[in-house]
Amino acid sequence: MFVRLSKTFRFEAAHDLPTFPADHKCRRLHGHSFRFDVIVEGEVDPAKGYLIDYGDIKKVADPIVKRLDHYYLNEIEGLSNPTSEVLAVWIWNQLKSELPQLTEIVVHETCTSTCTYRGR
């Protein structure tokens, strides 16, 4: 049986987007209540009855949340231009080696704006 699991994480952070035009609102320092979904896929182990323990996903993702929560994203290595797109790839790169079943990261910058990265 092939399944797809998703676990959501939240953090608060500030950023500015230095590549936007000087008069654009996103160029100014501002913050978001970010959310990101970690999505894994694979075959369920018939002996266990599950793909992966949600707790194992949390164990891998929690250090990333701590690294981002209540920080200025532009100051974190690799996030000098922390668009949703760059952030999604950055999170993917932090998780992929410890979470081989990872297939997708979805960053929710606002309630209505998301970015999906599938590792391509």
Give catalytic residues, as residue numbers.
26, 70, 109
| Cα–Cα distance, 117 to 110 (Å, whole number) | 17
Torsion angle defined by CA atoms of residues 56, 105, 87 and 115, in that order, rounded to the nearest 10 degrees: -150
| Cα–Cα distance, 20 to 76 (Å, whole number) | 19
